[in-house]
């Protein structure tokens, strides 16, 4: 049996229900977070909660009344859902109103929904190899506030839906010839020994995993730079990675079905990055 939390109570997942008059349903008026948990411990919890708070502030949604108890609710949920490694999903919408009206009532109480499911990962095994993915390249058709982790993800969904027909799992988005990120992750490119990732702006999400790898790699003396990357530079890249809380680090193997990564995983800088991550979470 799996559990989810809605407003003030835990429910069995198959029994949890919400009104269509919730503004999340009617307008996509809400924000969310995804937090991985390894061996019962949420990873980089404080960073995720700070980003959730920032998203709430940016869209002027009030903190849910359960905010001060968030950590203990999550701990209870992890215990109820039992799996050793889990992926926690937190969504806060502006709440339920009696009629559909674009401009919100400032007194509406936010809706808090939390659920978790098993995080199946081989990350803790020494034989771990990150997922090798096949990606596309598309113009970024999303809005200009991608720094907010908003539940309104139609641009991401439409792009991934189109690409999946050709067997592609992620996309390298660009805006005005400059790479932004993926539809579900941040992007890193490796040129020789130099690792490059686009700087934080309103066009990308400031990924918790992105920021974690930037710190981890620079502390370990890797040459890493945050700078704008032109779409033309893709051809020169020796490696391309995507980072996210759910998948940690995915290596791009093919772009539009054409192999770009010829060398074996063990010879890549991506491999070294994963090894550092493994050492970090296993302590």
The catalytic site residues sit at: 149
* Among the listed residues 130, 87, 88, the one whose alpha carbon sits nearest the alpha carbon of residue 277: 130
Tracing tokens 């609710």 back to the chain, one arrives at 73
Structure tokens at 137: 């390249």
If we measure between CA atoms, which residue out of 194, 259, 269, 270 comes closest to residue 226? 194
Going through the chain in order, the beta strands assigned E by DSSP cover 3-6, 9-12, 30-38, 41-42, 86-93, 111-118, 132-139, 170-175, 178-179, 186-191, 194-197, 223-226, 239-244, 248-255, 258-259
Question: Judged by CB, which is closer to ligand PLP: 150, or 237?
Answer: 150
Strand 9-12 to 132-139 pairing: unpaired
Q: Which residue matches tokens 């960073």?
A: 47
Closest CA to 228 of 265, 279, 180: 180
Which residue number, 108 or 195, has a Cβ lying nearer to ligand PLP?
A: 195
Query: Which CB atom, from 94 or from 142, has the smaller least distance to ligand PLP?
Result: 142
Question: Which residue, 104 or 155, is less far from ligand PLP as judged by CB?
Answer: 155
Residue 197 beta carbon to ligand PLP: minimum distance, rounded to whole angstroms: 11
Q: What are phi and psi of 154, to 5 degrees?
A: -60, -40
- Tell the smallest beta-carbon distance from residue 207 to ligand PLP (Å): 3
Complex with ligand PLP: residue 197 or 268, whichever CB lies closer = 197
Residues near ligand PLP (CB under 6 A)? 34, 181, 183-186, 205, 207-210, 243-245
Smallest separation, CB 100 to ligand PLP (Å): 27
The least CB distance from residue 34 to ligand PLP, in Å, is 6
CB of 210 to ligand PLP, least distance (A): 6
Q: Which two tokens stand for residue 262?
A: 């010829």
């Amino acid at each position: 049996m799996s559990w989810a939390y809605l407003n003030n109570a835990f429910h069995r997942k198959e029994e949890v229900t919400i009104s269509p008059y919730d503004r999340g349903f009617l307008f996509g008026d809400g924000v969310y977070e995804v937090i991985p948990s390894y061996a019962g411990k949420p990873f980089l919890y404080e960073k995720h909660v700070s980003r959730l708070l920032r998203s709430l502030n940016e869209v002027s949604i009030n903190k849910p009344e359960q905010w001060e108890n968030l950590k203990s609710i999550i701990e209870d949920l992890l215990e109820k859902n039992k799996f050793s490694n889990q992926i926690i999903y937190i969504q806060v919408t502006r709440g339920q109103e009696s009629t559909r009206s674009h401009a919100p009532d400032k007194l509406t109480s936010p809706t808090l929904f939390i659920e978790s499911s098993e995080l199946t990962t081989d990350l803790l095994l020494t034989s771990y190899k990150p997922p090798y993915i096949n990606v596309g390249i598309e113009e970024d058709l999303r809005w200009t506030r991608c720094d907010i982790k908003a539940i309104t993800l139609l641009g991401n969904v439409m792009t991934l839906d189109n690409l999946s027909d050709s067997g592609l799992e992620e996309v390298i988005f660009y805006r005005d010839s400059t790479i932004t990120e993926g539809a579900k992750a941040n992007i890193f490119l490796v040129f020789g020994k130099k690792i490059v990732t686009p700087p934080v702006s309103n066009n990308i999400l400031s990924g918790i995993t992105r920021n974690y790898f930037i710190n981890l790699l620079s502390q370990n003396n890797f040459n890493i730079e945050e700078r704008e990357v032109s779409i033309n530079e893709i051809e020169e890249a020796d490696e391309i990675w995507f980072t996210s809380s759910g998948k940690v680090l995915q290596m791009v193997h093919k772009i539009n079905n054409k192999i770009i990564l010829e060398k074996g995983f063990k010879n890549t800088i991506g491999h070294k990055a994963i090894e550092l991550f493994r050492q970090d979470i296993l302590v």
